[in-house]
Structure 1
Amino acid sequence: MPTSPDEDAAREAWLLMSDLVLDHQRRREVSEALGMSFGRSRALRRLARRPMSMSELATMLGIDRPNATVLVDDLEAQGLARRRPHPTDRRAKVVEPTRKGKALARRADAILATPPAALSALGAEDLDALRRILASVAAAE
């Protein structure tokens, strides 16, 4: 199916952004610094933003509920998260990070927030334009 020049440009821009973000070494840096898989650190970072139920966590991470249980079991065993009763649903549990878990989440966020040198080297005008464009796309989603 033929695409328009605008669709082609959007696809190319998306692939460039995906490559920059997904293939960047930051994921490896986070895993090495925290001593856990990037997926575990991603879960911990989400929980540090707000405690959530097991099913919310599974949905947010795009994993099955049994996998979320294994993940949270592992985080609990490491002293990084804990389960507590849900305040309104006796059948559910809420997962929250421990103080140690929050500290590791902040460490991961700091690593992930460090832009690549080539991005930092851009001028203020280019960075402002990029930020505005990305904010506009994010707001539209």
Structure 2
Amino acid sequence: MTKHAHSGSEADHLWQMLVGLVWETRGEWRRKVSTATGLPFSRVRVLKRLLDAPVTLKQLADMTDSDAPATTVAVNDLEDRGLVERQPHPDNRRAKLVSLTPAGRRLVELVHRTVRDDAPLAVQQLSKTDLAHLRRILERINSHET
């Protein structure tokens, strides 16, 4: 048995522990985001995807792992609220670009400023040595993902 074949089940177990830890903290953070914005989290997620640059509805659907009809509903709602706007695509007459309005940008910035996303207490209580090991391991994993 090779080293990698034996370690697969252990790697899978550790991965599930990591996913569980992250998953458990996301619900509370999402509620905080929704409370701060008055919007469902799914709408804020759309706004955050538009921070860097305007995108087409299709691109936005892909970025949010959503289908075109659901993305259209979300964009319509955000447009009605004055948080996004549609503009003609410069290169494709059939497509529209969706972009943040100044109010949409302010809302995303509000979330960044006011909704803390602190590490769970168990992570905060790790020793400096353990945190250094965790950083080294995560950086190694991230370098393989790119």
* TM-score, normalised by the number of residues in structure 2: 0.81
- Is contact 1:48–1:101 with CA below 8 Å preserved after alignment? no
Q: 1:47 offset after TM fit, Å?
A: 0.9
Alignment-derived partner of residue 15 in structure 2: 14
Q: 1:12 offset after TM fit, Å?
A: 2.0
Q: 1:5 offset after TM fit, Å?
A: 4.1
Gaps of 5+ in 2: none
Deviations 1:84-136 (CA, angstroms, capped at 9, x unpaired): 11121111111111122112223334536432233233333333332332233
Alignment-derived partner of residue 137 in structure 1: 141
* TM-score, normalised by the number of residues in structure 1: 0.84
Superposed CA RMSD: 2.1
Equivalent pairs, count = 139
Amino acid in structure 2 at the alignment position of 1:67? A
Aligned to 1:49, the other structure's residue is in SS state: coil
Superposition misfits of 4+ residues, deviation over 6 angstroms: none
Alignment-derived partner of residue 107 in structure 1: 110
Amino acid in structure 2 at the alignment position of 1:118? A
Gaps of 5+ in 1: none
Alignment-derived partner of residue 66 in structure 2: 63
Larger radius of gyration: 2
Distance 2:14 2:101 in 1: 39
